[in-house]
Amino acid sequence: MERRRFIQAAGVAAASSVVAAPAVVRAAPALKWRLTSSFPKSLDTIFGGSEVFAKYVSEATDGQFQIQVFAAGELAPGLEAANVVSSGSVEACHTASYYYWGKDPTFAFGTAVPFGLNCRMQNAWMYYGGGVDLMNDFYAKHNLVGLPCGNTGAQMGGWFRKEIKSVADLKGVKMRIGGFGGKVIAKLGVVPQQIAGGDIYPSLEKGTIDAAEWVGPYDDEKLGFHKVAPYYYYPGWWEGSAMLHVMINAAKWAELPAVYKAVVRSAAQAANVDMQAKYDKLNPAALKRLVGAGAKLRPFTQDVMGACFNAANETYADLVKTNPAFKKVYESMVAFRADQYLWFQLSEYSFDTFMMGRQRAKAL
């Protein structure tokens, strides 16, 4: 999907919703789709992304195109959302692409890979760097069409029962960690567990796992992890950005009228921006509350970070030798990342570090 075509399509959608919605939309069929989310309703920000998307589609089509949203477990288990869409059982889902990395590690690039891109870089790569096209070439093999539809931003490093002061302390730790990050951290002795959001707390409480990462302060507070694992680490190097997708069954997508496709693209992009903004608003206050409730903030040491970075690069080197699809997307992302960090260290980093200094000096 070339960016020019996307903008033209978005323009059609805007015109249909604002200027001539009744005339354009009523010529298109009335449709009712189901969308299964990978997330529980209690996580209003990440689950809410699918509701925002569905709301925008309905409003832009004058109610002609309705998408009913179902929480994880109502139509399908959270980690099976894309699978039921691929099979055609459900028209669409809202999910994290990296949940399906076990089928093919290439899925991870749709959400996040260790030491990859931050949120702004991920958007730039997707919309302007060819990422959407590359991922949809890959998704097509699984009967899916994917559109970016939300981002949490850089995530936290998770909750641990004990302090992690060195690489040696990671050995034997049973950790709930989503996506491709688990494959990398396993090289350092961690035993990764992929567990859906609603099942993490009881697993920590019972001692089935020793640590867990989810998203960040706002969601983590809701899930109550600080009550059973007090050490809260940062950063989540496996998710410098965590992009969500609306995934649509390829045959159902092909059946949509052009105007509906344009509306869906525009609604997904709007929901993508909305989710990140909401997390940025809610996380600071939640972090203050967590610390007030006893959470112990800890940074991963530079030794741990360096070892994880090296483990990630070793993993990538192995995969590009054996997986052509992974190699194609990885090489695109890596080249994009190099230029982005060249730019960000001059602009964003310089400005942000100065302002953070002012914040620590209580000048803000």
Q: Is residue 147 a part of any domain in this protein? A: yes
Q: Is residue 260 a part of any domain in this protein? A: yes
Query: Residue 6 phi/psi, 5° resolution?
Result: -60, -45
Task: Determine the pLDDT at residue 20.
Answer: 45
Task: Determine the pLDDT at residue 217.
Answer: 98
Query: Any idea what the CATH number is for the domain that residue 145 is in?
Result: 3.40.190.170
Q: Is residue 23 a part of any domain in this protein? A: yes
- What distance in Å separates the CA atoms of residue 84 and residue 87, rounded to the nearest whole number? 5
Q: Is residue 294 a part of any domain in this protein? A: no
Q: Is residue 269 a part of any domain in this protein? A: yes
Containing structural domain, residue 73: 3-151+241-281
Q: By C-alpha distance, which of 114, 128, 177, 152 is closest to 334?
A: 114
Task: Determine the pLDDT at residue 27.
Answer: 72
Burial 121-156 (b: 16+ CB within 10 A, else e): bbbbbbbebbbbebbbebbeebbbbbbbbbbbbbbb
Q: Is residue 120 a part of any domain in this protein? A: yes
- What distance in Å separates the CA atoms of residue 222 and residue 290, rounded to the nearest whole number? 10
Task: Determine the pLDDT at residue 15.
Answer: 42
> Is residue 306 classed as helix, strand or coil in its secondary structure?
helix
Number of domains the chain contains: 1
Q: Is residue 173 a part of any domain in this protein? A: no
Task: Determine the pLDDT at residue 23.
Answer: 52
Q: Is residue 157 a part of any domain in this protein? A: no
> Is residue 105 classed as helix, strand or coil in its secondary structure?
helix
Strand order in the sheet with 211-212: 191-193, 174-176, 211-212, 158-160, 231-234, 296-299
DSSP state of 197: G
Task: Determine the pLDDT at residue 13.
Answer: 45
Contacts 24+ apart (CB under 8 A), 344-347: 344/118, 344/121
Q: Which residue has the tokens 């760097």?
A: 129
Q: Which residues pair with 40 in a beta bridge?
A: none
Task: Determine the pLDDT at residue 25.
Answer: 56
Question: How would you write the pLDDT of the chain (364 residues) with one tens digit per residue?
Answer: 444 444 444 444 444 444 444 555 567 899 999 999 999 999 999 999 999 999 999 999 999 999 999 999 999 999 999 999 999 999 999 999 999 999 999 999 999 999 999 999 999 999 999 999 999 999 999 999 999 999 999 999 999 999 999 999 999 999 999 778 999 999 999 999 988 777 899 999 999 999 999 999 999 999 999 999 999 999 999 999 999 999 999 999 999 999 999 999 999 999 999 999 999 999 999 999 999 999 999 999 999 999 999 999 999 999 999 999 999 999 999 999 999 999 999 999 999 999 999 999 999 9
Task: Determine the pLDDT at residue 343.
Answer: 96
Q: Which residues pair with 160 in a beta bridge?
A: 211, 231
